[in-house]
Amino acid sequence: MSESLQPSPSPIQRSWQRCLHQGLIRQQSAELDLLPQGELSARQEEHRTLITCFQRFVLPLFAQLLAGRPCRLLLCDGEGAILAASGDDGFARHAERIFLRSGARWGEASKGTNAIGTALAEQSEVQVLGAQHFFAQHSFLSCSACPLLGPDGQLLGVLDISTDAAHHDGDMLGTVRLLAMTLENALLARQPGWLVDLDPQSLWSARLLLGEGGELLGANRAGRLWLGQHPFDGQQLLRDRRGLRLVPEAGERAARLPLPSAVEEGGSQAQQVPLKMLERGISLLIEGETGSGKEHLVRTLHARSSRRERPLVCVNCGALPADLVEAELFGYVGGAFSGARSQGSQGYLRAAHGGILMLDEIGELPLPAQTRLLRVLQERAVTPVGSHRPEAVDFWLVSASHRDLAAMVAAGTFREDLYYRICGWRQQLAPLRAWSVPERQELILNLLAEMDPALQLTPQAEQRLLAHPLPGNVRQLKQALEVACVLAEGQGWIDPAHLHLPEVAAMPAPRGTTTLREQSRQRVQQTLAECGGNVSEAARRLGISRTTFYRHLAREGRE
Ligand SMILES: Nc1ncnc2c1ncn2[C@@H]1O[C@H](COP(=O)(O)OP(=O)(O)OP(=O)(O)O)[C@@H](O)[C@H]1O
């Protein structure tokens, strides 16, 4: 056979050649190649949008397509580091043996031929079945991976489905491609601009993202193919208006939120570490101003923990009647004191047995109750008031305070030994005014989307919320939005008049927050143009009254 007729090597053959060339030895073990925890968190933060889209749009589809199958879906960055994973727990335990889990890097250089690393090296989708893996220890796996491309066509990472080789089936590559396209479409719809759907009927339509003047800002993979085959005239596409919509849409913007993500075992960084501490029985102390979300965090941790089916008991120590603090906490036997119930009372600590106990405002506990609590924590047993029989209790303890407990220790109003008992890990929650502008914007959008998805903030209202110091933190923000939703009901927009916030010195005006203002302006104009200038129809499409619509037009005229 002449040389030119030799079949070109397959991606697997090329990969093996690279591995041999690097001096990897098949019978040896692959290098561990684990990221330090801090590095993993930094990468997850860097890829927050990618991970959020993965969780919101890809995982539900994956769960439907591959429910009950022994496989894992892995989201990796451009170096093959696993950022998030989901799927069958039984298979996860096998996968754990070879460190196929978050924080491990699966590039070819350390792991030899494998779907993640080889898809990255080849920049194409790849399937690596059983013994095609370079290292013999990986041959129980069959993996299918598809590179992920950002709206600008840059390689972002890889999506991989790994399964037990015995359960592999031929559809995996198609499935992972479908999931990758879903993820890429979601990412494209997050970029601000005009999204042109060239075939709006199709889920896999070519999509282009255009700027105000028709310039090309991005495309999905079908869109890039389309661009390779058609002349591009962005202005014409905008004029045609077919399949055109302004993105991100309200629902999608809400999906950008920083709230409870599920990056495999954990959640966002603020939750992962405390959750790990709790799971190891280490007591948490959460400090933060009132309304900053201390209880919200505990509820989220409970919902994510292995004790989610067990009780979560939250006690506000400051609200306990002074003369009944101990009886309420530790319980009592019948007739222990005058006015006691004849059958006694279990008390909050025993009610939390097997679950999580949150002692909110722990700084309010009187000193005798502190002493008794310390003994419970040391002995892991409660002696109810009026009894001499200690009863074993097992709860994870979370304490919270808006007061500076260390200062209270120094002042002698809080026991030092108790302080060290409850403070195995100290988690501080920043006040809302210390959050970054994008973080606050995302929280606002999230809360609003939950309260009334039909309502949007005018840019002025958004500015007002961002500029207000909100000393009551998330609670105050939530209340202000709840009131505004009632006042603006049916009008489509919340404007500053709907925001009942006390006048206090404003924070410096945030910069770089013109996007929402611009978007709402464009939305009104765009809808009006689509409806051929028919205000009634445009207002109906936007779900607002004609009067409100005119108000928007008038305001734009003034701006
Ligand atoms: N990240 C968040 N996302 C959505 N809602 C939140 C968030 N953080 C707090 N909240 C909401 O804000 C309100 C106040 O939160 P929470 O009760 O947890 O604050 P706290 O710090 O425990 O307050 P306090 O010190 O007064 O007890 C609650 O309605 C809670 O659901």
For ligand 1, the distance from its centroid to the CA atom of residue 183, given in whole angstroms, is: 31
- Render 330-349 in DSSP notation, one character per residue: H-B-TTSSTT--TT-B--HH
Q: Collect all residues with Cβ–Cβ distance below 8 Å to 516 and sequence separation of at least 6.
A: 441, 457, 459, 462
* SS3 category, 106: coil
Q: Among 137-146, 213-222, 434-443, whose mean pLDDT is lowest?
A: 434-443
For ligand 1, the distance from its centroid to the CA atom of residue 145, given in whole angstroms, is: 40
Q: State yes or no: pLDDT of 97 exceeds 60.
A: yes
Q: How many CA atoms lie within 13 A of 292 on its CB side?
A: 22
CA-292 nearest atom, ligand 1: 21
Q: What is the pTM of this model?
A: 0.50
Pick from 387, 407, 428: which residue ends a domain? 428
294 lines ligand 1 (CB under 6 A): yes
Considering the domain architecture, whether residues 341 and 422 belong to the same structural domain is answered as: yes
Considering the domain architecture, whether residues 138 and 221 belong to the same structural domain is answered as: no
Q: What is the pLDDT of residue 556?
A: 53
Considering the domain architecture, whether residues 236 and 161 belong to the same structural domain is answered as: no
Q: Which H or E element spans position 243?
A: none
CATH number for the domain that contains residue 307: 3.40.50.300
For the stretch 232-248, pLDDT in tens is 998 888 877 666 666 65
- Decide which of 77 and 309 is more confident: 77
517 lines ligand 1 (CB under 6 A): no
* Atom 10 of ligand 1: nearest residue by CA position: 293
Per DSSP, the chain holds a count of helices (H) and strands (E) of 24, 18
- Decide which of 497 and 532 is more confident: 497
End-to-end C-alpha distance for the chain, whole angstroms: 76
* Atom 4 of ligand 1: nearest residue by CA position: 447
Alpha helices in 204-266 (DSSP H): 221-229, 234-240, 250-254
CA-360 nearest atom, ligand 1: 27
Q: State yes or no: pLDDT of 135 exceeds 80.
A: yes
Considering the domain architecture, whether residues 31 and 178 belong to the same structural domain is answered as: yes
Has residue 274 been placed in a domain?
Answer: no
Q: State yes or no: pLDDT of 141 exceeds 50.
A: yes
CB-CB contact of 299 with 442 (8 Å): no
- Give percent above pLDDT 90 in the chain: 46
Alpha helices in 380-458 (DSSP H): 405-411, 416-422, 437-451
CB-CB contact of 517 with 456 (8 Å): no
Q: Which of 44-53, 75-84, 342-351, 504-513 has the highest mean pLDDT?
A: 75-84
- Of the pLDDT bands very low, low, confident and very high (cuts 50, 70, 90), residue 109 is very high
474 lines ligand 1 (CB under 6 A): yes
Cα(513)–Cα(520) distance, integer angstroms: 13
Cα(355)–Cα(335) distance, integer angstroms: 28
Q: State yes or no: pLDDT of 266 exceeds 50.
A: no
Q: What is the pLDDT of residue 336?
A: 73
Considering the domain architecture, whether residues 481 and 358 belong to the same structural domain is answered as: no
* SS3 category, 285: strand
Q: Among 107-116, 152-161, 404-413, whose mean pLDDT is lowest?
A: 404-413
Q: What is the pLDDT of residue 518?
A: 53
- Give percent above pLDDT 70 in the chain: 84
Give me the residues paired with residue 357 across strands. Answer: 313, 397
Has residue 411 been placed in a domain?
Answer: yes
CA-288 nearest atom, ligand 1: 21
- What domain range includes position 119? 3-187
Considering the domain architecture, whether residues 404 and 447 belong to the same structural domain is answered as: no
Pick from 200, 222, 247: which residue ends a domain? 247
Considering the domain architecture, whether residues 420 and 441 belong to the same structural domain is answered as: no
- Decide which of 109 and 59 is more confident: 109
Q: State yes or no: pLDDT of 1 exceeds 80.
A: no
Considering the domain architecture, whether residues 553 and 459 belong to the same structural domain is answered as: yes
DSSP letter at 191? S
Considering the domain architecture, whether residues 146 and 201 belong to the same structural domain is answered as: no
Has residue 263 been placed in a domain?
Answer: no
* Atom 23 of ligand 1: nearest residue by CA position: 291
Average pLDDT, rounded, for the chain:
84
CATH number for the domain that contains residue 79: 3.30.450.40
Cα(250)–Cα(103) distance, integer angstroms: 33
- Decide which of 263 and 358 is more confident: 358
Q: State yes or no: pLDDT of 307 exceeds 80.
A: yes
Considering the domain architecture, whether residues 358 and 481 belong to the same structural domain is answered as: no
- Decide which of 170 and 78 is more confident: 78
Q: State yes or no: pLDDT of 468 exceeds 50.
A: yes
Burial of 392 (0-12, 13-18, 19+ CB in 10 A): exposed
Has residue 144 been placed in a domain?
Answer: yes
Number of domains comprising the chain: 4
Has residue 259 been placed in a domain?
Answer: no
For ligand 1, the distance from its centroid to the CA atom of residue 292, given in whole angstroms, is: 6
CB-CB contact of 184 with 148 (8 Å): yes
Q: Collect all residues with Cβ–Cβ distance below 8 Å to 101 and sequence separation of at least 6.
A: 82, 85, 92, 95, 264
Q: State yes or no: pLDDT of 330 exceeds 90.
A: yes
For ligand 1, the distance from its centroid to the CA atom of residue 295, given in whole angstroms, is: 6
Testing ligand 1's pocket by substitution, the residue of 361, 475, 479, 482 carrying the most ligand atoms inside 8 A of its CB is: 475
CA-474 nearest atom, ligand 1: 12
Considering the domain architecture, whether residues 464 and 383 belong to the same structural domain is answered as: no
Has residue 48 been placed in a domain?
Answer: yes
Burial of 136 (0-12, 13-18, 19+ CB in 10 A): middle
Secondary structure E strands in 186-231: 193-197, 207-210, 216-219
CB-CB contact of 373 with 365 (8 Å): yes
Considering the domain architecture, whether residues 289 and 179 belong to the same structural domain is answered as: no
Has residue 413 been placed in a domain?
Answer: yes
Cα(292)–Cα(478) distance, integer angstroms: 11
Give me the residues paired with residue 148 across strands. Answer: 157
For the stretch 363-395, pLDDT in tens is 999 999 999 999 999 999 999 999 989 999 999
- Of the pLDDT bands very low, low, confident and very high (cuts 50, 70, 90), residue 74 is very high
Q: State yes or no: pLDDT of 253 exceeds 60.
A: no
User: What's the residue count for the chain?
Assistant: 559
- Of the pLDDT bands very low, low, confident and very high (cuts 50, 70, 90), residue 545 is low
For ligand 1, the distance from its centroid to the CA atom of residue 478, given in whole angstroms, is: 9
426 lines ligand 1 (CB under 6 A): no
Cα(452)–Cα(485) distance, integer angstroms: 7
Pick from 396, 428, 460: which residue ends a domain? 428
Return the C-alpha torsion angle 316, 317, 321, 325, nearest 10: 130
Cα(202)–Cα(182) distance, integer angstroms: 13
Has residue 74 been placed in a domain?
Answer: yes
Strand order in the sheet with 126-129: 82-87, 71-77, 155-164, 141-149, 126-129
